[in-house]
Amino acid sequence: MLSVEERAKRIKLVVFDVDGVMTDGGLGLGDDGQEYKFFHSHDGLGMKLLKATGVHMAIVTGRTSQVVVKRAANVGILHFHQGVDDKLASFDEVRAQFGFSREECAFMGDDVIDIPPIRYGGLGITVPHAMPLVKEYAHYITSRPAGHGAVREVCELLMKAQGTFDAQMARFLK
């Protein structure tokens, strides 16, 4: 059985769910019908730093929202699938677009719909408040809660395992 660090060393693509991973899972709905999601700035910078190391990112989410389009653009994620019922199929489609093996891909999710891609990839990740069954299949459970630095924790985990963290931090430590 490979350790989390050994798995993380191989990752070239990380695919994120949105609700309950990038956000705390709450859905704000206004009287105007607009949907509101709250993202943490630490997660956003983490994704930008990870992208700078050459690790690719994508989003696969069950809901459809223009907020996700804006967040993806803000952090430089070019590949995303919304309104997805079969997350494994979308995950595998993104993986195949890049030409990566299953072992080179990670998936981060929090609910039972996320179990197939969590089990399929090389590194399955979830958050502390995930459904209990999801935790049984994840290789790694973040210490930070969803929407409050969990994505940043994963980005840093990957950078540290791949030896790129210090280089990314160097520009801030001059």
Per-residue pLDDT tens over the stretch 80-99: 999 999 999 999 999 999 99
List residues forming the annotated binding site for Mg(2+).
17, 110
In what order do the strands lie in the sheet containing 105-108?
Answer: 79-81, 56-60, 13-16, 105-108, 123-126, 140-141
8 A C-beta contact, residue 21 and residue 63: no
In terms of residues, how long is the chain? 174
Mean pLDDT over 11-38 rounds to: 93
List residues forming the annotated binding site.
17, 19, 110
List residues forming the annotated binding site for substrate.
19
CA proximity to 109, closest of 97, 94, 96, 121: 121
- Give me the pLDDT at residue 1, please: 84
How do residues 133-169 score in pLDDT, each as one tens digit? 999 999 999 999 999 999 999 999 999 999 999 999 9
User: Burial code of 122-148, b = ≥16 C-beta within 10 A, e = fewer?
Assistant: bbbbbbeebbeebeebbbbbbebbbbb
Could you tell me the domains of the chain?
Answer: 4-169 (3.40.50.1000)
Task: Write out the two tokens for 6.
Answer: 């050994």
CA 87 – CA 121 distance, rounded (Å): 12
CA 85 – CA 63 distance, rounded (Å): 9
Task: Write out the two tokens for 46.
Answer: 């983490």
Sorted by sequence, the CB contacts under 8 Å of residue 149 that are 6+ apart come out as 40, 42, 43
CA proximity to 50, closest of 169, 172, 174: 169
This model's pTM is above 0.85: yes
Q: Percent of the chain, pLDDT > 90?
A: 92
